[in-house]
Amino acid sequence: MQKELIGIAMKLKGENEVDIYTDGSMSIEIEGDSSKKRIGIGWIVVNNSSRNSNISFKSRIVNWPSSTRAELGAIWIALLVAPYKANMRIYSDSKAAIDRIWSLKESTSIRDYFKTKNCSLISQIIDCCKTKEINLELIKVKGHSMNKWNDRADKLAKEDLLSNLILEVYEVTTSRISTALLWKNKSIENRLRIFVNLNMTTIYKNK
């Protein structure tokens, strides 16, 4: 995955304007009395430059599965290949993902950070823009509206639900917070208070 992303970043190097359509997908597999969720991500560059007309990416993302997490993962990976100081327009059909990015970006409260789902993933999106001095514009598009670029990003995300190319979001420290909260060696991506309450209730019931 790293090699593929570096290759894409080199192709986009020097571009001042980059437009990318992103999407995420989630499937639920029923196995007896339990269920297993899988989430895939996909995006495609839609720049007019002919040398960038076929650039796309897809993979799976693991842990804390949700449709919004898939959308956020697609946006994050798209930003990782963005050129330095680029004007990035990312088109997404997820209002929830867009709203959560702007909400956490505008907040200076640590309390808001721990109340936000996928907080470390959103923080990496914010820090990536800051570090690379990216001018990011997030544009909401209507899903399943015959928009060919959104449809292609959706197809990419669905294709990789069973892929062996897996994206893991590791715990990191960011400019916002220097402490990583872990549970069984994985960063906690749920609202902290709800996560603690649910786990304490489960532990109590199992005694």
Q: Classify the phi-psi angles of 188: left when phi > 0, otherwise alpha if psi is within -120 to 50, otherwise beta.
A: beta
Secondary structure of 43-71 as H, E, C letters: EEECCCCHHHCCCEEEEEECCCCCHHHHH
**pTM score:** 0.78
Pair 139, 102: CB distance under 8 Å: no
Q: Which residues pair with 136 in a beta bridge?
A: 88
Contacts of residue 81, defined as CB under 8 A and 6 or more positions apart, other chains included, come to 5, 8, 9, 12, 57
Mark residue 13 as left, alpha or beta (left: phi above 0; alpha: psi -120 to 50; beta: remaining).
beta
Superfamily of domain 2-205: Ribonuclease H-like superfamily/Ribonuclease H (3.30.420.10)
Candidate from 109-118, 134-143, 171-180 with smallest mean pLDDT: 171-180
- Across the chain, mean pLDDT equals 80
What are the tens digits of pLDDT across the range 148-207?
Answer: 899 999 999 888 777 777 777 665 555 555 556 666 666 656 655 655 555 555 554 555
> Domain extents for the chain?
2-205
Q: pLDDT at residue 18 above 80?
A: yes
What's the rounded mean pLDDT across residues 96-110?
Answer: 84
For the cut 50, the answer to whether the pLDDT of residue 120 exceeds it is yes
The confidence band for 112, taking pLDDT boundaries of 50, 70 and 90, is low
